Chains A and B, each alone.
Chain A
Amino acid sequence: MVKVENLHKSFGKLEVLKGISTEIKKGDVVAIIGPSGSGKSTFLRCLNLLEEPTAGSVQIDGQDITQKGADIQKIRQKVGMVFQHFHLFPHMTVLQNLVYAPMKVKGMAKNQAEKKALELLMRVGLSDKAGVYPAKLSGGQKQRVAIARALAMEPEIMLFDEPTSALDPEMVKEVLEVMKTLANSGMTMAIVTHEMGFAREVADRVLFLDEGKLVEDTVPSQFFLKPDSERARQFLKKVL
């Protein structure tokens, strides 16, 4: 589904990603873990070209998205993204947030888009908030709306960039629950997270990044019990 080969990314002189190769298969839930500054978010953002890789390739469904002339907008429609700070459109109601892209980008009919949006709001437990503006929502509610907004485009893969890091502790759970349900429904997901418990429970695979390199690519049970690398051991000692 997603194939990353020798991915490099530099910001000026600073090399953030130093050659990462991995693969995400359909239905995989991959947790991307690592110390801050390790390049996790940059890696994730390369998958929908919010960052343009300096070298290497990213293939989605066999199509190299880093190639010149690749239809970035078409590709992004297949790749949903959820941000740390939600980024809901503040001048639109929750419902408008959900139907805007399906209608304007995919050309879906209004009643169809709204029906789908209401279904999604039900799924994330926010049916009663359709007509509300984002400013009136709590952080956890905003993030659930943001997840629903991304799902409204019927993506083939969902990227989560520290989806619970900006939330008050008591709101983390409601967002993780939604993500867990999504994972169980068979959605392909790549999640940058600091929630080790969640990664352990939900992920099929853990990617451990450090200083721009993919240090470990393994199953959670292996990673959390006996990681191969000294770096991962040190990291886990600090966070667990």
Chain B
Amino acid sequence: MQIDFSKIEPHIPYMLEGIGITLQFTSLSVFFGFILAVLLTLCKISNFKPLNWFAVFYTSIFRGTPLLVQLLLIYYATPQLFDYQIEPLAAGVLAFSLNSGAYLSETMRAGILAVDKGQWEAAKALGISYPRMMKDIIFPQAIRNILPAIMNEFITLLKDSSLVSMIGVAEILRRADVVKGQLFIYFEPLIFAALIYYILVMILTLLSTWLERRLRRNG
């Protein structure tokens, strides 16, 4: 058995560049996933039944099938259906946003239902309209309730972003794979990739602890 990390040394800058793409990809997915989750949540708590049904159906599809299958479907099926070659990064962001929107909307719904009923009544009694009540009174409190879960979703997405190496996005794992192919060694580039993911996740974990503490300080 031979392990020699010096072999990958020349390739380290190349692999580190993947961090930018991974972070960009993850942030975009979290951003769009969050917006989608808000919309789905509003559908789920709406009094209008068809909206409930739609949101529940949507969630069941995206939670009931593997993320990798969704990704491959979007990347390979889009050209076949729409005669349009979708960019790998765009396909990835699309699949991940649609998917995390489903997961986050469940978390968000629970967070909103956990807000004291009295808050809704106090807002209504003041004549505050539904959109304003949701935006300024209910959502801020719900987000505070579910912040740990949101950060968790962020972390999961970051790790799952390695899946987009499958469709050729040059993120961290993909680059490790390229190095692997050039040097014919497996252990070193993959361990290096794992280490990068681990450090990123640790940073996110610290960030979430800090955020939570900051939010708690205000009431």
List the interface of chain A (C-beta within 8 A of B).
Answer: 48, 50, 73-77, 79-81, 83, 85, 87-91, 100-101, 104-105, 133-136, 149-150, 153
Contact = CB atoms under 8 A, between A and B. Distances in A.
Contact of B119 (A75, A79, A89, A149): A89
Highest count of chain B CB atoms <10 Å: which of A80, A88, A90, A133: A90
Interface in B110-168: 116, 118-119, 121-129, 132, 136-137, 140-141, 144
Contacts of B118: 83, 85, 87
Given A50-B121, A87-B122, A105-B127, A135 B219 contact: yes
Given A50-B124, A153-B126, A153-B127, A91 B219 contact: yes
A77 B127 contact: yes
B137 to A, nearest CB: 6
Contact of A48 (B125, B129, B137): B125
A48 B140 CA distance: 26
A91 B127 contact: no
B218 interface: yes
5 contacts: A73-B129, A91-B144, A100-B136, A101-B126, A150-B126
A104 B128 contact: yes
B132 to A, nearest CB: 6
Contact of B218 (A83, A133, A150): A133
A89 B125 contact: no
B219 A133 contact: yes
Contacts of A150: 125-126
Contact of B125 (A79, A90, A133, A136): A79
A105 B124 CA distance: 11
B103 to A, nearest CB: 25
Contacts of B125: 48, 50, 76, 79-81, 83, 150
Given A76-B124, A80-B125, A91-B219, 9 more contacts: A50-B125, A76-B125, A83-B118, A87-B121, A100-B136, A105-B129, A133-B219, A153-B126, A153-B127
A102 to B, nearest CB: 9
Nearest to A136: B219
Nearest to B129: A73
B116 A87 contact: yes
B219 A90 contact: yes
A84 to B, nearest CB: 9
Contacts of A104: 128, 132, 136
Contacts of A76: 124-127
Contact of A101 (B121, B127, B140, B218): B127
Interface in B184-219: 218-219
Interface in B32-50: none
Contacts of B137: 89
B146 to A, nearest CB: 14
A48 B119 CA distance: 16
A85 B125 CA distance: 14
Contact of B219 (A73, A77, A134): A134
A135 B141 CA distance: 14
Contacts of B140: 91
Interface in B52-101: none
A83 B121 contact: yes
A77 B144 CA distance: 29
Contacts of B122: 81, 83, 87-89
